[in-house]
Amino acid sequence: MKSLCGNSKQLSLLSRKRVVITIDGPAASGKSTAARLLAKKLGYLYLDTGTMYRALTWKALRDKVDIKNPKALSDLARNTRIFLKPESDLNIRIYLDGKDVTSSIRSPEVNNYVSLVSAAGGLREVMVAQQREIANRGSLIAEGRDMGTVVFPEADVKIFLEASFQERAKRRWKENKEKGLSITREEVETELANRDRIDSQRKISPLKRAKGALVIDNSHMDIPQTVEKMWEIVTKKMKC
Ligand code: DC
């Protein structure tokens, strides 16, 4: 683990303990990239929980699982092996039952259904247990929707990252364009609005600010500025 503070006494205290930093926020707020870079800077594990729900959605669509049937979804989660393999640059490859699904889980079809699949309580229980298991392996940055509220309520630092709807839609549209996907701005806005609505209004583990979370609105920040702001929050909170 890298030093958060220059002071060796503080460092030894910190390095004896596993640190958990949670980053929650809506789709296209830049969470994944910023969280990954922050994890790299700290030398922590990086857990992108959205990939787990995406992988299950991809499998549900492939196997034509009835996504309106919560029991079918919890069975699916129980019978699936998800493995997140960090690469040297901290990008993560996602394996589902041994198959590399890293690109497939970013398809527009998965985008359209992932909020519905991830609203199922039984399926979430299986995922939450796996997420907590991963946290036993070392200090980590956990990123998602319910990291600070449900999965790691005792986290050392909690961050809520948000940006205006227009800014997030612009980012998502640009991302799709760079991938060669011809999706109109209107379609992007509809998809994003749907996901925002389902993610924040669902009964189980809705997206919301955790108690004690510090809010960053990065509508007018780029990724390096966002990471810098997160770094400031983390080091201040750790009383460096
Ligand atoms: O972060 P993302 O856009 O890759 O997440 C995809 C979906 O997964 C998101 O719309 C809601 C769901 N999700 C969730 O319910 N809980 C999490 N901790 C992470 C993601």
Quick: pLDDT tens for 61-92. Answer: 999 999 999 999 999 999 999 999 988 777 88
pLDDT band at 176 (very low <50, low <70, confident <90, very high): confident
Give the confidence band of 181 by pLDDT, cuts at 50, 70, 90.
Answer: confident
The percent of residues in the chain predicted with pLDDT above 70, rounded, is 93
Q: How far is the CA of 4 from the centre of ligand 1 (A)?
A: 29
Q: CA-to-CA distance for 86 and 105, rounded, in angstroms? A: 16
Least confident segment among 4-8, 137-141, 220-224 = 4-8
Residues 30 and 139: their CA atoms lie apart, in Å, by 22
Strands 140-144 and 45-48, by their bridges, are parallel
- What is the per-residue pLDDT across 4-21, written as a single tens digit (0 to 9) for each? 665 444 444 455 589 999
Amino acid 3: pLDDT? 53
> What pLDDT, in 10s, does the model give residues 22-70?
999 999 999 999 999 999 999 999 999 999 999 999 999 999 999 999 9
pLDDT at 2 over 70: no
Q: How far is Cα 179 from Cα 113, in angstroms, rounded to an integer?
A: 20
Over pLDDT 90: what percentage of the chain? 82
Q: CB-based contacts of 197: which residues, under 8 Å, 6+ apart?
A: none
Residue nearest to atom 16 of ligand 1 (CA): 145
Q: Is the dihedral of CA 231, 124, 91, 65 positive or negative?
A: negative
Residue predicted with more confidence, 10 or 188: 188
- Residue having the nearest C-alpha atom to atom 14 of ligand 1: 145
Asked if 225 and 218 touch (Cβ cutoff 8 Å), the reply is yes
Q: Which residue shows structure tokens 């994890």? A: 39
**Could you give the 3-state DSSP secondary structure of residue 217?**
strand
- Give pLDDT, residue 11: 46
* Confidence band for 179, pLDDT divided at 50, 70 and 90: confident
CA 63 to chain centre: 25
How far is residue 30's CA from residue 38's CA, in Å, rounded to a whole number? 12
**H runs (alpha helix) in the chain:** 8-16, 31-42, 49-62, 70-78, 108-117, 121-135, 165-178, 185-201, 223-237
Domains recognised in the chain with CATH numbers: 19-222 (3.40.50.300)
Alpha-carbon distance of 137 to 116, in angstroms, equals 30
The arithmetic mean of pLDDT across residues 147-153, rounded, is: 98
Distance CA 217, CA 110 (A): 27
Whether the Cβ atoms of residue 73 and residue 67 lie closer than 8 Å to each other: yes
pLDDT tens, 98-115? 999 999 999 889 988 999
What is the 15 CA–ligand 1 centroid distance (Å)? 30
How far apart, in whole angstroms, are the C-alpha atoms of residue 90 and residue 104? 19
Please identify which residue in the block is written with the tokens 């398809």: 107
Helical axes 108-117 vs 185-201, angle rounded to 10°:
20
Instruction: Round the average pLDDT of the chain to a whole number and report it.
Output: 92
Mutation to probe ligand 1, out of 36, 145, 168, 191 (largest number of atoms < 8 A from CB): 145
* The predicted structure's pLDDT at residue 6: 53
Q: How far apart are the first and last CA of the chain?
A: 16
pLDDT at 219: 98
Q: Please give all residues whose beta carbon lies within 6 A of any atom in ligand 1, as ranges.
A: 27, 49-50, 53-54, 114-115, 118, 144-146, 195, 199
Which pLDDT score is estimated for 48? Answer: 96
Work out whether the CA dihedral 101, 48, 194, 230 comes out positive or negative. negative
For the whole model, what pTM was predicted? 0.92
Dist CA 82 CA 160 (whole Å): 26
190 pLDDT band (50/70/90 cuts)? very high
Distance between CA atoms of 103 and 228, rounded to whole angstroms?
29
